[in-house]
Structure 1
Amino acid sequence: MLPPEKPTPLFGNPALNYYKPKSRNALSRQNWARALLWLVGLLCAASSNAHLLNMTKAEVEILPDNSLRASLLVDLSREAGSGEEYFRWSNLANPTRDPTVQATLARLTQGLNITADSQPLHWQVTHITWPKDRPLSDFTSGLSWPMTEIQLAAPAAVLSIPSTIPLNRPSKTSSSLSPKTQAEPPRVLQARFSDGFRFEEPIALRMSCACSNLSLNRWLVRNQQSPQYYPTGIANNETATQQPALNVWRDYIWLGITHIIPKGWDHVLFVLGLLLGMHTARQLIIWISGFTLAHTLTLGLAAKGAIAVPSQWVEPAIALTIAWVAVENLMHPPKTYLRLAVVFAFGLIHGLGFAGVLKEMGFPPGDFTTALIGFNVGVEVAQLAIVLLGWIIYRTWANPSAWRRRVALPGSVLIAATGLYWAVVRLVG
């Protein structure tokens, strides 16, 4: 009986060039690895039907007459049930007369839970700007996010306050208001976006007041209570005007994580491309370290405003970096330090993409550095999770040559095709 054929060496790495008959345990591990890879593939496919960067933007403002105005920029695809239905809503002659739209707006006003001095505000929709100028393909594409702008209003709060003017002494300042009550800005606002409405995450919240230059900027997820916002500061308790740095740190770490998993599929595919091209742990560590250093550098500079590149160039460039790495995997085994130079350059581009998102969301006043570092730490935590999962899957394969033939090469083809498709769509769109 002829001995079994030895596998092809994996990029000349002697430590991995071994052969042993496949045991049942080895086959079982490979089956689990294949199942995990199929799961990753399904998640990537599912992401093609999900909008990228379709986070909700919410601005709440206290106006000069102390009434409140809210402006929401929302993607209604999931509320509508499909992109086709969202497109139909947007092109109705009078969408607010449609029963399904009315029900959606009712859920929206109920889901917008904002309190003024612990009292709930009652919102009314005042104006809606639908994305009527967008083609149907934008509503059904996973790479476009038609947004609807919804304006809402809440009446001014009239608060009972002690009168400082004796009732038997007339005053010019008290002639137009009751001596016992007068309208004034709320002392504190707080917001929560409930699950009753499908707000896309993260939710970028900004609260401000015409009465002062104080504002609050936070990223939230559904059912997360915002920090308290004090429009005019807090008398007799100045320390409460500043949110603890620990809260900012915690919030922005979480936002960095969620920006990658599950939102940042372009970043995920780039890291997976590096995984599929490596043949030693040392290579992977060098490449990931260079990539991290590069995107951290441009993230900080661009977020601070030191450099600026239009997003219409950054987003297609990011897609091309994904395709480049995957095609390189198919053509030849990447050289460690040559790929490091390429990965560092591409990391600079990815950092610009991160900064664009952060600048759109805004930073909490006085906490720029804390928020920036926290966001970057969150990105690295998510990136490390991807690398560890990929390494575990890789190590379950007893035959390295089979890994390259069955996983690395087909995976690189899929990633290259996805990157090229995204590049074309982002350039054309």
Structure 2
Amino acid sequence: DNNWATANYGEEVYLSVVSQINCPNATTDGPLSLRYSLLFDQDALHRGLLKAGLGGTSHSAILSPDRPDYRFDASASGFFSVLSGYFIEGVWHIWIGADHILFLISLLLPCVFLRESAGLGHWRASQQLRSSLISVLAVVTAFTVAHSITLALTVLEVISPPAGLVEPIIAASVIVAALGNLTKTLIHLRWQIAFLFGLIHGFGFASVLADLGLPSDQLASALLGFNLGVEFGQLAIVALFFPIAWRLRATAFYRWGVVFGGSILIAVIASYWLIERLS
């Protein structure tokens, strides 16, 4: 029997199908499995959220185009299974989250410079890899700590700001980070900016996690897995960006084309997001 209805996850409304399935040979034919493929051929970002009970055990899973199947065995509902599923979703979200990526990249662009005096034209290419890595580490750590705090607080329902407020501020944070590279003061306050606005980005991550649905009996593993996935995806971006930036740091192309021109371009893109999210 199927009962069709709607369900709220985060601030979004989703189609919900409640089914009761009778499987008389479940104990003799081996573990049951379920396949979900609705809309996958039309939308690669579509996700199916599974919540099921079988033999007194609750099961939760995120079904996606690359993982459309779920096996109802003991290991599927375990800590590491839930953790790995939400880990993948965390990685995927940061990789498709252009606003989060551009915020982080904006703050990392000047990390291969050393300041001689205020202003971009008075910065010189760093000759010490260690100092640049420390600068990168400061930004990434501040961003990680900040968004982890608000992600956890939101999931635990300690605080829950509306998405209509959070999303415009995230867009504004990208503008601040990008234009900060062109100012005399903000360019050397990057880790502070990363922490301050990282708190807001954490609310954005929490909104995505709420949309995915959280298993009440595996809340810790889902939260941990998603957060670790975000961090892994973030570190992968940094690992790709930094060697290129370090190699090009002494060139006029990097200073004026990438840092100066790129920061202006990012600010323009984020301004469009801000207008769109406020409208």
Q: Normalising to structure 2: TM-score of the pair?
A: 0.77
Summarize the Cα distance change of 1:192–1:298 in structure 2 as closer, same or farther, 3 Å threshold.
same
Aligned pairs, number: 251
Cα distance in 2 between the residues matched to 1:260 and 1:421: 20
Q: The residue matched to 2:34 in structure 1 has which SS? A: strand
Cα distance in 1 between the residues matched to 2:202 and 2:66: 30
Cα distance in 1 between the residues matched to 2:50 and 2:245: 44
1:68 maps to 2:25: no
* 1:9-408 map, 5 Å: 67-69=1-3, 190-193=34-37, 197-208=41-52, 216-228=59-71, 240=74, 243-261=77-95, 263-278=96-111, 279=113, 280-332=132-184, 334=186, 336=188, 338-397=189-248, 399-408=250-259
Look up the equivalent residue of 1:316 and give its one-letter code: P
Match of 2:271 among 420, 423, 427: 420
Look up the equivalent residue of 1:410 and give its one-letter code: G
TM-superposition CA deviations, 1:172-213 (whole Å, max 9, x none): xxxxxxxxxxxxxxx95623327872244251413357x999
Shift of 1:242: 6.9
Shift of 1:295: 0.2
Summarize the Cα distance change of 1:276–1:227 in structure 2 as closer, same or farther, 3 Å threshold.
same
Would you tell me which structure has more helix in proportion to its own residues? 2
Summarize the Cα distance change of 1:223–1:326 in structure 2 as closer, same or farther, 3 Å threshold.
closer
Q: The residue matched to 1:374 in structure 2 has which SS? A: helix
Is this contact kept in 2: 1:217–1:365, CA < 8 A?
no
Cα distance in 1 between the residues matched to 2:274 and 2:56: 41
**Structure with the greater alpha carbon radius of gyration:** 1
Shift of 1:215: 5.3
Cα distance in 2 between the residues matched to 1:335 and 1:223: 41
Counting aligned pairs with the same residue, the percent is 30
Shift of 1:148: 10
| Cα root mean square deviation, aligned | 3.2
Summarize the Cα distance change of 1:283–1:218 in structure 2 as closer, same or farther, 3 Å threshold.
same
Cα distance in 2 between the residues matched to 1:369 and 1:297: 14
Look up the equivalent residue of 1:404 and give its one-letter code: R
Shift of 1:227: 3.2
Summarize the Cα distance change of 1:391–1:240 in structure 2 as closer, same or farther, 3 Å threshold.
closer
Which structure is richer in relative contact order (CA contacts within 8 A, separation 6 or more)? 2
